[in-house]
């Protein structure tokens, strides 16, 4: 091989490496969830009406708002379904671009990720069997009560009730439906979960009621890796526009009557 040819090969190789590096640096996320014109969202799709399966398609408020955001940014949306308590890590490590899962903004979560502005509110509700001795939130705190509370692992329902009633009295399930099955079967005395999913679960299952008094009020937002401030800004701009033009309200109204 002639020297010039070798040089050319080396140059091309160097450019390829540099080009790739530039690409990775550019999207501010080490493992490159977003190397193409694609936004990868992490969710847990057992949370009607925010995200749930219709056939093999994930639909719901979050899925539709995310699609509208991607549309605004001229990007394609891919949704990855995973355990709720894996979402934060997926976002932090960059295996996805953002997490959207009816996720509540909390101080603790803000230590590891950033949140966009809020696009919806949530309430933690309590589901019991009809005729349950638990009729208000206060009953859970009564002297010597020791009721067993069913929750979805890693949710605010889990975190708050573990704080309030101790881990011995809280049973963690992989999703709300499993928690409700446990309530039906008598393994737990109540389920603490966000109010809209609670309504969907009570509608789908006989003999359950939601208490009138709620357990906590919350704000839902999208989480993004700390270093990905560029995406955070883009998402915030898109959310602001979609709130201002009524898109977010329309999507929510379609699912919550
Ligand atoms: N709002 C609660 C939280 O952030 C529950 C969210 C559960 N979401 C889901 N897609 N399973 O902890």
CA of 103 to the centre of ligand 1 (A): 5
Q: DSSP string of 159-195?
A: HHHHHHH-GGGEEEESSHHHHHHHHHHTS-SEEEEEH
Distance between CA 144 and CA 146 in Å, rounded? 6
Residues 71 and 184 in one domain: no
Tell me whether residue 18 is in a domain. no
What whole-number percentage of the chain has pLDDT above 90?
83
Residue 189 lies in a domain: yes
What is the average pLDDT across 109-135? 97
Residues 138 and 249 in one domain: no
Ligand 1: distance of its center to the CA of 101 in Å? 6
Roughly what angle, to the nearest 10 degrees, separates helices 229-244 and 61-72? 110
208 and 91 within one domain: no
In a domain, 106, yes or no: yes
Atom index in ligand 1 nearest the CA of residue 156 equals 12
Instruction: Identify the band that residue 118 occupies on the pLDDT scale cut at 50, 70 and 90.
Output: very high
Q: Compute the distance between CA of residue 70 and CA of residue 39 in angstroms, rounded to an integer.
A: 7
Please report whether residue 26 resides in a domain. Answer: no
Domain count of the fold of the chain:
2
What average pLDDT does the segment 241-245 reach? 97
Q: Name which residue sits closest to atom 5 of ligand 1, judged by CA.
A: 155
Whether residue 15 has pLDDT greater than 50: no
As given in the structure block, the two tokens for residue 87 are 């979402």
Query: By residue range, what is the domain housing residue 196?
Result: 123-217
We report the CATH number of the domain holding residue 178 as 3.40.190.10
Q: Is the same domain home to 88 and 129?
A: no
> 59 with 88, same domain?
yes
Ligand 1 pocket: which of 41, 44, 83, 84 to mutate (most atoms within 8 A of CB) = 84
d(CA 92, CA 112): 7
Q: Tell me whether residue 21 is in a domain.
A: no
For ligand 1, the distance from its centroid to the CA atom of residue 194, given in whole angstroms, is 7
pLDDT(213) > 90: no
- pLDDT at residue 209 in the model: 98
* Span 234-250, average pLDDT: 98
């Amino acid at each position: 091989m002639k020297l010039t040819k070798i040089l050319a090969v080396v140059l091309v190789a160097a450019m390829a490496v540099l080009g790739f590096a530039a690409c990775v640096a550019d999207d501010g996320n080490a493992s490159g969830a977003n190397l193409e014109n694609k936004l990868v969202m992490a969710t847990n799709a057992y949370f009607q009406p925010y995200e749930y399966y219709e056939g093999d398609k994930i639909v719901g408020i979050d899925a539709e708002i995310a699609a509208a955001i991607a549309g605004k940014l001229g990007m394609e949306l891919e949704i990855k379904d995973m355990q709720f308590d894996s979402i934060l890590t997926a976002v932090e490590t960059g295996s996805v671009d953002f997490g959207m899962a009816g996720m509540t903004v909390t101080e603790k979560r803000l230590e590891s990720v950033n949140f966009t502005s809020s696009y919806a509110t949530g309430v933690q509700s309590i589901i019991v069997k009809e005729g349950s001795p638990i009729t208000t939130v206060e009953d859970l705190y009564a002297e010597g009560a020791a009721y067993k509370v069913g929750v979805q692992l890693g949710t605010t329902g889990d975190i708050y009730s573990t704080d309030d009633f101790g881990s011995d009295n809280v049973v963690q399930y992989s999703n709300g439906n499993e928690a409700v099955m446990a309530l039906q079967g008598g393994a737990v005395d109540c389920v603490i979960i966000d109010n809209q999913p609670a309504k969907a679960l009570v509608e789908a299952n006989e003999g359950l009621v939601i208490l009138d008094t709620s357990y906590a009020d919350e704000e839902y937002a999208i989480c993004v890796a700390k270093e990905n401030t560029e995406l955070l800004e883009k998402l915030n701009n898109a959310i602001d526009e979609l709130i201002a033009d009524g898109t977010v309200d329309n999507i929510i109204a379609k699912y919550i009557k």
